Amino acid sequence: MKRSIIFLATSLSLISATFLFSSCEDIHAPIFYYINNEVALEEYGIVGDISGIIEFKGNLYVNSGRIYKKAAQQSSVTGKFNQQWSKLGSLPGAMFGLASDGTNLYSIKVTYEQNTNTGTNTNVSRQLYKYNGSAWTAIEDSSDVVSVVYDKYAHAAYARKKISDDEYQLFTLSGGSVGSAVSGTDKDTVSVSKGKYFTGASAYSASNSLFYFTNASASDIFWSTDGSEGTNKISPSIGKILSLEVTKDYLLVGTERVSSGSGYRGGGIYRIKIKTDGSLESSPTAFSNNAQALMSTNYSITNILALDRTANEEATDIYAAANIEGSFGSSSHATFEDIGLKAYYPARGTWNRDGTSDRTTTPKGN
């Protein structure tokens, strides 16, 4: 049976609402915001709506409209933490998404037009670009590409194209060009590694031997050796799941903050214990660091990347994107300046903002 994954990036919409804690409030309690008294927030950090975090040619890349890179090396090797990212120069414009086939990096230039009556920006055109590590080049006949999909396990890239008013299909991206259509894919399908295609799910991760994924409901987590949905599943009751990342001892789970009545529910990061046989505990385990304070239920966690998935959760560098939908209530202690890239470094032992040494990319600089 085929299942799917939706490669999701949230966008900002300014909706005034009062924040409501999720049903798993006890997982995040008793800390209600950042634990500033215990862990001082870094002044420098990449802010904005993150649409991709990937590894390419020995570097990590992050897209927040601007694209940044740093060496894909563990902090235990470099001895360095924050302020190691650098901004890529000469971008074609505002960029969305990241994918790679191992040879090229792919991203979409998005052109916006402002509606002077409403003050909102409307997406008027998209153009797919490739980056070989030194220069960006437009890819011909790609204006109908609406998103790029990246399989970080097989190092494969795909373009999601609009083929009619309400129809979409995946096409291979290889050698810097859009290839043939992928058979059996549609608007809700993306590719993952080992030749599997998942239809209707929203998150996926894999160890050396097991797939971990969600189905269309995005509330259950399944695991299997071949990507098929069976009886091996848990229902952790943590809301809609957006992202999964596996480490040796824990599965990291990012959830979506969604509007609910007069407020919001869901959101935040969780971890679920992986047993020695690869199966999962039935419910989340509280972090031993400040992960859930920094990435609380105020945020949608849309991307998580562990630099070494064979290491224990607390023994590898980890990066995550905290995005939002709507606005924050007066009691949430969160602001739009706090969306963006977060990182965990084992020697530091805490999560914090992560970015460049350039003040223009910091909360104060924006």
The pair of three-digit structure tokens given for residue 107, joined into one six-digit string: 């991203």
Spatial separation of the C-alpha atoms in residues 220 and 215, rounded to whole Å:
7
pLDDT tens for 101-157 read 999 999 999 997 777 777 666 667 899 999 999 999 999 888 888 888 877 666 788
Q: How confident is the model at residue 160 (pLDDT cuts 50, 70, 90)?
A: confident
Cβ–Cβ under 8 Å, residues 32 and 350: no
Cβ–Cβ under 8 Å, residues 354 and 342: yes
Report the mean per-residue pLDDT for the chain: 79
pLDDT tens for 47-75 read 999 999 999 999 999 999 999 999 999 99
Lowest mean pLDDT among 7-21, 26-40, 280-294: 7-21
Spatial separation of the C-alpha atoms in residues 324 and 334, rounded to whole Å:
10
Cβ–Cβ under 8 Å, residues 226 and 3: no
Q: How confident is the model at residue 28 (pLDDT cuts 50, 70, 90)?
A: very low
pLDDT score of 193 more than 70: no
Q: How confident is the model at residue 362 (pLDDT cuts 50, 70, 90)?
A: low
Ranges of each domain in the chain:
18-87+195-361
Rounded (10°) CA dihedral 74, 78, 83, 84: -70
DSSP symbol at 311: S
